[in-house]
Amino acid sequence: MSARFYVVGGAVRDALLGLPASDRDWVVVGSTPQELVAAGFRPVGRDFPVFLHPETGEEVALARTERKSAPGYRGFTIHADPSVTLEEDLLRRDLTINAIARAEDGTLVDPHGGQRDLQARVLRHVSEAFVEDPVRLLRLARLAARFTDFTVAPETEALLERLVADGEVDALVPERVWQELSRGLMEARPSRMFEILRRCGALARLLPELDRLWGVPQPPEHHPEVDCGVHTMLVLDMAARLQAPLTVRWACLMHDLGKGTTPAEVLPRHLGHEGRSAVLAQAVAERWRVPNPCRELADLVAREHGNIHRSAEFGAAAVVRLLERCDAFRRPERFAEALLACECDARGRTGHEDRPYPPRERLAALLEAARGVDTAAVAAAAAARGAKGPQIAAAIQLARADAVGAAL
């Protein structure tokens, strides 16, 4: 087989940046599907010719060109045959820093100045074809959240705006949106992803509930940063700083959506925003098919974050009711994540970044005290006194309140 193999994309980029090796993607030039199969490669590509290496399991794709034929990221006609050159394949890629190839002997092929842009810390599109695939907008925003010292080239910013204006963003399917959002949320500074989406107008199309938070004021005595959108980004970056899991980061993103619907005449106060936030978070979850663990924690945090913040004012019985509403007795791990999200909320405020958050440790300890109650014994004793279902539940609640009171 006269084929030539090249590593392309993120693995080359990350190696040049001195970052840990990522999964390697390969392009093969001068071959056919039949030749690869004969050599033991296993075909897996549904939309274009992709194969798994028989020994390493790494993905190998035939060099190909693409022609836009319909809206959305699937609207392409693929052409792959031995005549397609490496340079033609690299031309269809999104960013210059992702359009560098490395031959098996280590030689770099960089026709679009990717190494120059790596040194200059710039995210720049390869060609005008960038606007043909709306997923590229999301991917660029995600990379900005990972490479926090990179800027977006002005001409690329203009293409992002064109993608939105031409309606390509509206053709995105939920699976791809969630895939990119969830990956971006786990990057070093996730707020950068949303800042870029907002600047080009994509956030208003994808997450209008979030986009409308910018410009909405909050009381400065509680929120020195004042702006609700700015606060949400501070909370999100605090979640990244505390290395929170995806569920917590999604809850942080969703927790204050209701503040965007507060009537103007009552601003800067936001009475009842918790319930409105929960409703809006559920609508977002439905639109983008957010996985249940993320949507459930977002709902819980939206509804209860105010009560968790104020829980030092609660007596023992009120603490137990809060724990019950949070389903903390059945799902203590999820409650721990809710407490972490609330810490991010409390510390995601200008000047509060390094302040302690006592409710997290306090409520975790009170939950353990309440869980120490032998509920089977309490239920049996209540039943022996003739109590029925609701009375037995009340007896358990009272016993837990006594345990919390003792711990307080």
Beta strands at 59-62 and 25-29: parallel, antiparallel or unpaired: parallel
- Is 23 labelled as part of a ligand binding site? yes
Mean pLDDT along residues 83-95: 88
Domain boundaries, the chain: 1-114, 239-354, 375-406
Report the chain's mean pLDDT, rounded to a whole number.
92
Annotated binding residue 198: no
Q: Could you report the per-residue pLDDT of 359-399, keeping only the tens digit for each?
A: 999 999 999 999 999 999 999 999 899 888 899 999 999 99
Q: Among all chains, which residue has been given the structure tokens 């200008």? A: 350
pLDDT in tens, 246-295: 999 999 999 999 999 999 998 998 989 999 999 999 999 999 999 999 99
| 64 assigned binding-site residue | no
Give domain 1-114's CATH architecture: 2-Layer Sandwich (3.30)
- Known binding residue 349? Answer is no
Q: How far apart are CA 195 and CA 358, in angstroms?
A: 31
**From CA 233, how far away is CA 226, in angstroms rounded?**
12
- From the list 255, 251, 260, the residue with the least C-alpha distance to 213 is 260
Buried b (16+ CB within 10 A) or exposed e, 141-151: bbbbbbbeebe
Q: Report pLDDT for 66.
A: 64
- pLDDT tens for each residue of 32-84: 888 888 888 888 866 667 888 887 878 888 887 666 445 555 544 555 677 78
Could you tell me the sign of the dihedral formed by the alpha carbons of 155, 130, 99, 10, in that order?
Answer: positive
- What is the reported pTM? 0.90
147-152 contacts: CB < 8 A, separation 24 or more?
Answer: 147/121, 147/123, 148/188, 148/189, 148/192, 149/121, 150/121, 150/122, 150/123, 151/121, 151/122, 151/123, 152/122, 152/123, 152/196
Which residue did the predictor score with more confidence, 223 or 76? 223
25 is in an annotated binding site: yes
13 is annotated as contributing to ligand binding = yes
Instruction: Please report where in the chains the tokens 């794709």 appear, as a residue.
Output: 61
Is residue 222 pLDDT above 50, yes or no?
yes
Residue 321 marked in a binding site: no
What pLDDT, in 10s, does the model give residues 309-364?
999 999 999 999 999 999 999 999 999 999 999 999 999 999 999 999 999 999 99
137 exposed, middle or buried (CB, 10 Å; 0-12, 13-18, 19+)? buried
